[in-house]
Structure 1
Amino acid sequence: MKLGYQQGDRLAYWWVDRYVDVSDLQEPPTKDAIARFFSWHRQAQLPEIATVLTRVKSEVAGPIDASMVRQVQQDTNRLGRRAFENAVPDVADLMLTLTPEQIKRMEGKFAESNAKYRKEFLKSDPKARTDARFDKIMDYAKLIYGGFSGEQERTIRDSMGPYMEGAEARYAERVKRQQEWLTLAREVSTSHPPKAQVEDMLRKYADHWQRPASGQQRSNEAGVDLSVKIANLTTPEQKAHAVDRFQKWIDDTRSLMREGASQAAK
């Protein structure tokens, strides 16, 4: 976590450049914007993240219920939205400089990503589709709880039915979100509205996608139920592994906070 965060500015620029092929003129303000974001994030959000991690650490040692998982989702959404709000002025600046060619490139990258997603998670064979999603779920589960027994894995796989029913809805929501983003980018590129108007457009986009459609909401609830099932299958040893894992994330977060305070003092 710490290593990834320390490289966050470079990774963020790489991600933006991959999607739009940043021009020579766009490069300096884009890098400056990313640096501002991480400076803000270290001071404003890392303390809140440490608080959330500390609370979850105290919860994973015992029984888990759906309200706990929903609270983590709410915390994640709240922090994400605040981060987006902080970035809105700089995102608006970049949007106002995007060329039609850059937007076309973005569209192509979305298409590549979607093709990869369909190939991995929307296979025509139901068993293969479930296997792929099961592997992804277990990657996250093992990250927190360590290894799982064969019996535990079979129980988890057998519990995935309701979550798998939402596979098409999740993909449709993903594509719709991308298409609305491209529509927004094209409108800005074509009409070049005032920056304040672009900022308002970005906020409306975020507002819309923080209110999931009914199909996505059902999929989310199925995911919550599955998370609860996995957590409550775990042994005392696996719960101890989870506590240790969260403590390491807390330590990393606090170390990053100290680094940020040191940099700000210079």
Structure 2
Amino acid sequence: MTPPVRFLPAWAGSVARIIGWLMFTLALAACSTIKIAYNNAAGVGYWWLDGYVDFNEAQTLQLRADLARLQLWHRSTELPRYVELLQKVEQLATADIGPEQVCAIALEMRRHLGTLLAQIEPAATALAMTLTPAQLQGLDRKYAKADARYRKEWLSRAPAEQSDKRYKQWLARTEMIYGRLDGAQKDSLRAQVALSGFDARMSYEERLRRQQDALQTLRRITQAGLPEGDARDLVHGYFERALDSPNPAYRAYQQALLQEDCRSVALTHNTATAGQRDTAVQRLRAYERDLAQLALPQP
């Protein structure tokens, strides 16, 4: 089963996405590509970040070094914990499950994300203190382009089209774990998605809030010439707001979607055949082996 990953914050500074990618590789990549994706995450992560902020030479050297250190820490400290989490999921996959069990796994993943964000605060702060007004303007333009894509992919679609897009996403993620679903299972999944409370407009508004929050935070850090300790407090505050929106309506919406996702995952799992559950267990074990090997000291 694939726990929901909506807790992943869409940080303007983009570092959280890199961390989230490291954390959720097992849920997003085919088993045979996990090792390649993880071993190259620091390098690919740098280029992804550079696409948002055009780094100068000094920033490039520092960021590459920080990402490399982060990955070393993550490999030795967090990957063994992910293996333990996978073992829990593997045990659950052999029998029927309830939504509360799925949500417990999702909440544990969220706690790991909080640990990761705390680990990167010093490096994120150091980088933020070196950003120039021109780089922040470039970041703002990058956001505008990404927002235009979101509007095209989601807001310009009719509700039925949005539902169909989300169904295809859910189907792909589900079949990544269980293998091919039959017609009745696909119909059930489509019906669950059709009844979803997903609101593309509300998600978009929260996306804009996070972006403006990030830009305002970075401007305060760069314009005020703050001491490092004060700058880190601002970065920490942003991370907290990215994980827990200050908008109570969005928090309620996010919680409702989480509960909805947990019910959908449980229902999909409970209607899986014995063969599909066996496929899920085998794939989870393969993920577990890959992550355990990645956690070993590298030559």
What's the TM-score, normalizing by structure 1?
Answer: 0.93
Q: Output the CA distance in 2 between the equivalents of 1:257 and 1:124.
A: 43
The answer to whether the aligner puts 1:125 opposite 2:158 as a matched pair is yes
Q: Output the CA distance in 1 between the equivalents of 2:164 and 2:197.
A: 11
Displacement of 1:70: 1.1
Q: Output the CA distance in 2 between the equivalents of 1:78 and 1:144.
A: 23
Q: Output the CA distance in 1 between the equivalents of 2:206 and 2:229.
A: 28
* Contact 1:53–1:246 (CA under 8 A) maintained in structure 2: yes
* Contact 2:103–2:258 (CA under 8 A) maintained in structure 1: no
Q: What is the aligned counterpart of 1:59 among 81, 88, 92?
A: 92
* Contact 1:120–1:132 (CA under 8 A) maintained in structure 2: no
Identity, % of aligned positions: 26
* Contact 1:169–1:216 (CA under 8 A) maintained in structure 2: no
Q: Report 1:54-203 matches (<5 A).
A: 54-203=87-236
Displacement of 1:223: 2.0
* Contact 1:170–1:216 (CA under 8 A) maintained in structure 2: no
Count of equivalent residues: 261
What runs of 5+ residues in structure 2 fail to find an aligned partner?
1-33, 246-250
What runs of 5+ residues in structure 1 fail to find an aligned partner?
none
Q: Output the CA distance in 1 between the equivalents of 2:90 and 2:164.
A: 30
Q: What is the aligned counterpart of 1:48 among 81, 99, 113?
A: 81
RMSD after superposition: 1.5
Q: Which residue of 1 aligns with 2:253?
A: 215
* Contact 1:163–1:222 (CA under 8 A) maintained in structure 2: yes
* Contact 2:94–2:277 (CA under 8 A) maintained in structure 1: yes
Deviations 1:98-156 (A, max 9, x none): 11111122122222222222322334312111111111111111111111112211111
For 1:229, the aligned partner's letter is L
* Contact 2:166–2:193 (CA under 8 A) maintained in structure 1: no
The answer to whether the aligner puts 1:36 opposite 2:74 as a matched pair is no
Instruction: Pick closer, same or farther for the CA change 1:166–1:64 going to 2, 3 Å.
Output: farther
Q: Output the CA distance in 1 between the equivalents of 2:187 and 2:122.
A: 48
Displacement of 1:162: 4.0
SS in structure 1 at match of 2:237: helix
Instruction: Pick closer, same or farther for the CA change 1:10–1:262 going to 2, 3 Å.
Output: closer
Displacement of 1:206: 1.9
What's the TM-score, normalizing by structure 2?
Answer: 0.83
Q: Output the CA distance in 2 between the equivalents of 1:58 and 1:44.
A: 23
Q: Which residue of 1 aligns with 2:287?
A: 249
* Contact 2:99–2:262 (CA under 8 A) maintained in structure 1: yes
